[in-house]
Amino acid sequence: MEELLPLYLVTNRYDFSDDIFLNIIREACQSGVSMVQLREKKATTRRFYELASTVKKITDDYSIPLIINDRIDICLAVDAAGVHIGDDELPVDVTRQLIGPDKWLGVSSKTVAASLAAEKNGADYLGVGAIFPTSTKKNAEEVSIDTLKQITRETTIPVVAIGGINTTNLSILADSGISGISLVSDIMLAESVKQKTKMLRGVINRDILKKGIADHDDK
């Protein structure tokens, strides 16, 4: 699944209307996002389900996996590609049992020990951070670049860097061994979602993953 992780969009509702929110996701999918995680911390279960169903139609149109943040029930209800959990959710091995062997399981991690345990217990990929201060999780403990590199060396599953990453600090992650970057505001709040997404994907491919810049045409 490593090829699906280069530019990983985690959504944030902010104060967007549904139409604007969904259009941002659509434009990001058109322009180079490789995976979408739907994150809804305040929505009711019914609201989350309805929104996830609509978002999945968009991601399916572009053959992009949809990951549901935390909510195993929503993941299963809409048949999303997988679920991403933090360290305050169900244990990794229990989550794996509930979602089965075929859905992807992402796990947030801040230490080498936690990363190794997550891999052992069934995680498919790790979200490591916060690498930089982030407004999305204001009290998030930061993870050093050295720790990030150690995690990528000592685990065998893909690692995505998360937390406060944007175009101004992206280059710091070069040679860290990561498989991708997870972004929220740099895409969700971009003046031009298409332009920003294409630019980010190009920089990630060239400077982080050390491969040619892919073209991303609108469908």
- One DSSP character per residue, 151-175 reads HHHH-SS-EEE-SS--TTTGGGGTT
pLDDT of residue 135 exceeding 90: no
Instruction: Say what the pTM is.
Output: 0.94
pLDDT at 108: 97
Q: Is 37 annotated as a binding residue?
A: yes
- DSSP label at residue 209: S
pLDDT at 213: 47
pLDDT at 211: 72
* Mean model confidence pLDDT for the chain: 93
Q: What average pLDDT score do residues 35-55 get?
A: 97
Residues 6+ apart with CB under 8 A from 40: 11, 13, 47, 48, 51, 69, 71
Q: What average pLDDT score do residues 29-35 get?
A: 98
Q: Is 154 annotated as a binding residue?
A: no
Q: Is 169 annotated as a binding residue?
A: no
Residue 80 to residue 92: CA distance in whole angstroms: 18
Just give the CATH number of 2-208.
3.20.20.70
Q: Is 10 annotated as a binding residue?
A: no
Q: Is 136 annotated as a binding residue?
A: yes
pLDDT of residue 137 exceeding 90: no
pLDDT at 210: 83
Residue 209 to residue 54: CA distance in whole angstroms: 32
